[in-house]
Amino acid sequence: MSAFRTETRGATLLVTLDRPPLNALNAETLEEGAALLEKLGDEPPAGGVVLTGANGVLTAGVDIKQAADADRAMRRRLFWGINDFCAALMRLPCAFVCAVPGHAIGAGGIIAIAADWTVIADTDLKIGLPEAKAGLAFPQVPQIIMEYGLDPVWHRRLAFSSRLMGAAEAVETGMADECVMPERTVDKAVARAEEFASQPAFNEVKANMRHKAWADIESVYARRGTD
């Protein structure tokens, strides 16, 4: 059964991560998501892409049980699954908006930072990058996303402290862009994607802004297999 549901909202494609109970990202889910996003990168929707989560959360991050029980081969599969999924998000050439309905932990925080715009629900959620506390180092592509998407001071503070924040603080730190009532989160994200996509030069402006990040990601894959 697919962990991703898709539906069209006008010219925008809404992608919903649905892996109960907390949308944890195991190797299979990461690989499925990367394949879907790569296909969308080749054939981008005219109204852009919105990514959200079902079950009242975006994602609780990497599947801790699978990671804890992983042998060397599975750890490598998870490592590159995270890189591939995050790289596919960053490489989307069209408008990409993230709708955060609830907790966005670890990889969930990275997804929020990777988006062109992130709408977060004004609810009792937690968002952050607690990899250091969880004993998990950031793979290369998430590191590039943090360097691209966060102010250097907040990059250091969030990565070193593993602190989890509420919605309003997420906007202050740059992990999200606007906070709305929970029932409006997806609709607002779709509206933002449509707004961005309607601008004739949006894709070109995005490509220019992300040029260095894209080049850095390409360098990661150029070295793949040498580690």
Q: What is the pLDDT of residues 25-73, one digit of tens each?
A: 999 999 999 999 999 999 999 999 999 999 999 999 999 888 888 889 9
Bond prior to 21 in cis (omega within 30° of 0): yes
62 within 8 A of 82, measured Cβ to Cβ: yes
Nearest to 18 by CA among 9, 35, 6, 8: 6
Cα angle at 189 between 143 and 145, to 5 degrees? Answer: 5
pTM: 0.95
Would you place residue 227 in the very low, low, confident or very high pLDDT band (cuts 50, 70, 90)? Answer: low
Joined tokens for residue 27: 């190797």
* Chain mean pLDDT for the chain: 96
- CATH 3.90.226.10 for domain 4-185+197-222, yes or no, is yes
Q: What distances in angstroms separate CA 145 from CA 86, 107, 151, 224, one per listed residue? A: 8, 11, 11, 18
